[in-house]
Homo-oligomer: A and B are copies of this chain.
């Protein structure tokens, strides 16, 4: 089983930061990030994982001061690539993944930064490739709206090709640095990319020796058809959002079949749905903890999370106890819309119930119970082919992560489902995904 810790400061629960144990200052305080990353490494997790948005959430929606949401927690946080680099020096084994959007970056710059983190960390870097979905971002990059979904994915496909190609610029051993002859480099081992596409023209080479991992790990979270195709062709890890086992089984089977069609070994594409756990030493304690958290939930905040996924439909104009209607097509996350509609139908949820589900776990699976009960469910998902592991989400930081490491990890280890020590040093080794060959290297 593979485990990632999703570090979405100050918490994945929209009001979790108000919990008495929460340290919401973890959004901007590097020392708190160190504490969290080291706890995850103590738990022998495969990797930590930072989401990213290049805007203050909600800033595009309205005009003037009222655009800000005083009760919304995730307003500011450290920039993930600089944060990963800094965390590389205070950890030694755990993987380091961060999101960077293909919509508002240049591939040369992204290829360099993740390669640099891979060198600094000794082979632990990962790039979570996304397309920008949240409209707030467009206004920070000269646009009123994002380019359309299909075009965003077309750009993302090409962006990946350029980045992966640049990562092969130097073959291993290209830098010879021979003081006697004065030869610094072996020109036969340094390669131009000369990419010319619709979105990018990039000559290369990248000014960076080949990475310890060959290439950093690439992860993806898209679950639309375009997103799954991109993931099947390019991703090593797939973060996804199924809260129902049969839905997850279907997703994993579909994704792995697509990977095989792209000529890849499906075992080298790891599917890791999100999972939030509320852990008690007894079921009653877990339930109590859950209820205490839910009392903090702000319905207005939760409704705004839902509204962002509703396109042109003004969800606030409908009675909150009405069933969730069919959501109109939107340029935002298509797969998340579908997931919510299916879940609402399956569980007969009203609008406000769906909003609260989003507000609690960002729409991911929630397990409330004892370590044994949580491990039972995780084990079943793994054994039934619903996933290769989980992306762990936490309502706030740092104690829920520390609880998972102290209580659930040992239970998984006892069952032989999870490592008791790191065996390798790189993220690829943790995941069991081999170093890719350099496309330019002679056999």
Contact = CB atoms under 8 A, between A and B. Distances in A.
Interface in A151-207: 169-170, 175, 177, 179, 182-188, 190, 192, 200-207
Given A20-B179, A89-B90, A177-B24, A60 B203 contact: yes
Contacts of A342: none
A163 to B, nearest CB: 12
B208 A175 contact: no
Contact of A140 (B53, B105, B204): B204
A106 interface: yes
Contacts of A77: 207-208
Contacts of A17: 177, 179, 184
Contacts of A105: 106, 109
A59 B179 contact: no
B142 A200 contact: yes
B140 A203 contact: yes
A68 B208 CA distance: 14
Contacts of A184: 17, 24, 69-73, 75
B30 A190 contact: no
B82 A82 contact: yes
A21 B224 CA distance: 56
Given A28-B175, A70-B185, A140-B203, A115 B85 contact: no
A52 to B, nearest CB: 9
Interface stretch (A116-124, A268-276, A402-410): A116-124
A53 to B, nearest CB: 7
A289 interface: no
Contact of A88 (B84, B86, B296, B298): B86
Given A28-B209, A108-B140, A182-B71, A113 B187 contact: no
Given A17-B179, A78-B116, A109-B105, A202 B139 contact: yes
A339 interface: no
A102 interface: no
B120 A76 contact: no
Contacts of A83: 85, 116, 120
Contacts of A108: 54, 104, 140-141
A57 B207 CA distance: 8
A18 B182 contact: yes
A133 interface: no
A12 interface: no
B179 A82 contact: no
Interface string A388-420: 000000000000000000000000000000000
Given A70-B187, A109-B105, A203 B76 contact: no
A334 to B, nearest CB: 25
A99 interface: no
B25 A75 contact: no
Contact of A82 (B55, B117, B141): B117
B30 A119 contact: yes
Given A56-B190, A67-B192, A120-B30, A76 B208 contact: yes
A81 interface: yes
Nearest to A200: B142
A202 to B, nearest CB: 5
Given A73-B184, A83-B85, 16 more contacts: A18-B179, A24-B184, A28-B119, A30-B120, A54-B108, A69-B184, A70-B186, A72-B184, A76-B170, A81-B113, A82-B117, A82-B120, A86-B89, A105-B106, A108-B140, A140-B203
- Please provide the 6 A-B residue pairs with the shortest distance between their CB atoms, ordered closest to farther: A139-B203, A79-B116, A82-B85, A68-B187, A85-B85, A142-B201
16 contacts: A18-B179, A18-B182, A19-B179, A24-B179, A28-B208, A55-B207, A59-B205, A75-B184, A76-B170, A76-B208, A77-B208, A78-B119, A79-B115, A83-B120, A108-B140, A139-B201
